[in-house]
């Protein structure tokens, strides 16, 4: 690992380094707002114009590197006159865009907040045009470098993990060379400080109102831990275990409910044969699962050529875990698996490839996920066996089906050269000035209810709401009950009673009736 002793020391800074509120406030010029372009305003069903803005923040909060960084922001105006301040959003990833996601998701999330707040998101450092994490100078160079990378999950073959380890080293080296001037300036702690710069620039009450999804819960948990006295409202939705984000190679707890979520898919498929193409191939969920298991094994030796793509072991695993994020896509997943079972090459050739839901939002910063996640992580090694030990000793035991899906990020992060100039290294056991609302789905493939319970126990006074739905985060399978609790919390600070469980409004494989 290439790093200087000074950077290593700075990387171990904790919340005690937090800049006092008075020093943060009004340090730089405020947000410069203007009307957003029509393509962003087009998402609003009410015909409103969103506000697009920029804010200059310190490039390096340690002060070692002078200069500023310009953040791009988007504001969705409150729906009601009685404004209660602004809510900041982070959409996860890490590496997810803030501006586009805020515009496109606003019709869904704004009613859930009660409509009395402005909603604001921004492109975090490392994403969009904000210290864009591009490890290759252009798409041509990237394609030339990665075209021979197989990106295989560890169990695709006996050689897959070793090859992926080598590919991870190449990516780590390429990013270290291309981004040597900015690589250490990207990370969660600095993004937290950017977020409070936004809070101060808004000129409201100096308190954070926040809703974070997926990795956004790690960002949110870090913000609560670093600035516990500056919290007004905070929702962590689809919770990662932040301790594992910082202190493990591959976040083993993430996969706690992955296999059970897959079993729920199979069960719902058999219960809804008219909406699930796979149902005709079995008489029970167990039999269907066995057939898919055999298909996965067969694809190791006999991948399917379809159009310009090849669908083998790793591709089907990526398809399965990705589609389990979104119950609205369960019928599509069933169709695609049915095409594989029947070797329907004609139907399958219509697919251009498998998209990773964690990286598709980061198209303008292709290596953002690696840049943020890997720079945050403390453990580094040049010994593949240490990574193998975590895979086989922890992650495979957590998920027998999807345990090898984090292979590519694990192998790159273990060999990453950059360490974020600041990492939060506390235990997240804090009491915030106002209690947080923690929400976890019962069947989430990558952010299990277990992690939500853990964080709720750490943040004193917080409440846990169990969303008894499927998919990744509450908005994947909406619930009027969950939405009411979210609105009550943002509007009045009311938290759900202990043990509250909300049911989703529609079941799996539900199809909207055709309009007459």
H or E stretch at 82: none
pLDDT band at 305 (very low <50, low <70, confident <90, very high): confident
Centroid of chain to Cα 176: 23
Establish whether the linkage from the previous residue to 94 is cis, with ω within 30° of 0: yes
* Residue 199 Cα distances to 21, 146, 333, 503, angstroms: 11, 40, 41, 34
DSSP 264-327: HHHHHHHH-TTT-GGGGG-SSHHHHHHHHHHHHHHHHHSPEEETTEEE-HHHHHHHHHHHTT-G
What torsion, rounded to 10 degrees, do the Cα atoms 163, 164, 170, 172 define?
Answer: -150
Pick the CATH number of 5-131+184-248+423-502 from 3.10.129.10, 3.40.630.10, 3.40.50.1820, 3.30.300.280: 3.40.50.1820
Average pLDDT over residues 489-508: 97
* Global confidence as pTM: 0.91
pLDDT at 6: 26
Distance set, CA 289 to CA 260, 310, 334, 399, 420 (Å): 12, 23, 12, 15, 42
pLDDT at 515 exceeding the cut of 80: no
Q: What is the pLDDT of residue 352?
A: 47
Between 28 and 418, name the one with better pLDDT: 418
Spatial distance between the Cα atoms of 72 and 97, rounded to a whole number of angstroms = 10
User: Which helix (H) or strand (E) is 185 found in, with range?
Assistant: none
- Cβ neighbours around 325 below 10 Å, total: 21
Tokens of 29: 């010029």
The helix (run of H) or strand (run of E) holding residue 110 is helix 99-113
Span 354-387, pLDDT tens digits: 444 443 334 457 899 999 999 999 999 999 999 9
pLDDT confidence of 349, banded at 50, 70, 90?
Answer: low
The beta-strand segments (E) located in 66-149 are 68-76, 86-90, 118-122
Contacts with 218 (C-beta within 8 Å, 6 or more apart), sequence order: 94, 188, 240, 242, 245
d(CA 427, CA 405): 28
Distances (CA, A) of 24 to 58, 117, 201, 487: 10, 23, 9, 30
pLDDT above 70: percentage of residues in the chain: 90
What are 60-116's pLDDT values in tens digits? 999 999 999 999 999 999 998 878 999 999 999 998 899 999 999 999 999 999 999
List C-alpha distances in Å: 178 to 58, 132, 417, 418, 452: 22, 12, 12, 12, 37
- DSSP, collapsed to helix, strand or coil, labels residue 439 as strand
Q: What is the pLDDT of residue 28?
A: 56
Q: What is the pLDDT of residues 30-65, one digit of tens each?
A: 898 999 999 999 999 999 999 999 999 999 999 999
Q: Where are the domains of the chain?
A: 5-131+184-248+423-502, 258-343
Ramachandran angles phi, psi of 55, nearest 5°: -140, 130
Biggest CA–CA distance in the chain, Å, is: 69
Q: Report the C-alpha gap between 279 and 509 in whole angstroms.
A: 12
> What does the block give as tokens for 287?
């039999």
**pLDDT the model gives residue 18:** 36
Residue 147 has what pLDDT? Answer: 61
Please write down the long-range contacts of 486-489, taking CB distance under 8 Å and 24 or more positions apart.
486/112, 486/113, 486/235, 486/437, 486/439, 487/111, 487/112, 487/113, 487/114, 488/114, 489/233, 489/235, 489/437
β-strand pairing of 309-311 with 208-213? unpaired
The answer to whether residues 269 and 260 touch, using CB atoms and an 8 Å cutoff, is: no
């Amino acid at each position: 690992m290439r790093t200087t002793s000074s950077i290593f020391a700075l990387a171990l800074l904790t919340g005690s380094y937090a800049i006092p509120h008075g020093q943060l406030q009004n340090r730089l010029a405020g947000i410069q707002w203007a009307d957003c372009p029509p393509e962003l305003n087009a998402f609003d069903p009410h015909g409103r114009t969103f506000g697009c803005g920029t804010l200059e923040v310190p490039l390096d909060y340690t002060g070692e590197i002078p200069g500023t960084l310009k953040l791009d922001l988007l504001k969705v105006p409150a729906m009601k006159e009685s404004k209660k301040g602004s809510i900041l959003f982070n959409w996860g990833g890490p590496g997810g865009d803030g501006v586009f996601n805020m515009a496109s998701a606003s019709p869904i999330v704004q009613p859930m907040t009660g409509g009395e707040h402005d909603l604001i998101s921004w492109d975090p450092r490392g994403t969009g045009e904000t210290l864009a994490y591009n490890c290759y100078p252009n798409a041509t160079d990237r394609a030339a470098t990665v075209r021979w990378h197989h990106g295989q999950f560890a169990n695709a073959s006996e050689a897959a993990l070793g090859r992926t380890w080598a590919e991870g080293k190449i990516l780590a080296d390429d990013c270290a060379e291309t981004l040597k001037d900015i690589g250490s300036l990207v990370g969660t702690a600095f993004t937290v400080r950017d977020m409070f710069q936004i809070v101060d620039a808004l000129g409201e009450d100096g308190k954070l109102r926040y809703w974070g999804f997926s990795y956004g819960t790690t960002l949110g948990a870090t913000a609560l831990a670093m600035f516990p006295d500056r919290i007004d409202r905070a929702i962590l939705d689809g919770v990662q275990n932040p301790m594992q984000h910082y202190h493990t190679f591959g976040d083993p707890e993430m996969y706690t409910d992955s296999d059970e979520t897959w079993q729920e898919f199979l069960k719902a498929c058999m219960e809804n044969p008219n909406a699930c193409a796979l149902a005709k191939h079995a008489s029970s969920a167990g039999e269907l699962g066995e057939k898919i298991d055999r298909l996965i094994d067969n694809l190791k030796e006999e991948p399917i050529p379809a159009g310009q793509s090849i669908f083998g072991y790793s591709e089907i695993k990526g398809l399965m875990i990705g589609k389990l994020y979104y119950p609205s896509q369960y019928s599509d997943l069933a169709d695609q698996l049915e095409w594989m079972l029947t070797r329907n090459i004609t139907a399958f050739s219509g697919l251009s490839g498998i998209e990773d839901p964690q990286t598709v939002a980061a198209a303008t910063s292709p290596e953002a996920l690696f840049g943020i996640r890997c720079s945050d992580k403390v453990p580094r090694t040049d010994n593949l066996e240490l990574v193998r030990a975590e895979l086989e000793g922890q992650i495979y035991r957590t998920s027998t089906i999807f345990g090898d899906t984090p292979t590519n990020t694990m192998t790159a992060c273990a060999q990453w050269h950059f360490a974020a100039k600041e990492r939060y290294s506390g235990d997240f056991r804090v009491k915030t000035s106002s209690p947080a609302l923690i929400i976890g789905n019962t069947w989430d493939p990558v952010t299990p209810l277990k992690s939500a319970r853990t964080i709720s126990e750490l943040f004193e006074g917080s409440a846990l709401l169990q969303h008894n739905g499927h998919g990744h985060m509450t908005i994947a399978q909406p619930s009027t009950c969950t939405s009411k609790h979210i609105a009550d919390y943002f509007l009045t600070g009311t938290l759900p009673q202990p043990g509250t469980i909300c049911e989703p409004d529609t079941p799996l494989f539900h199809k909207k009736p055709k309009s007459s």
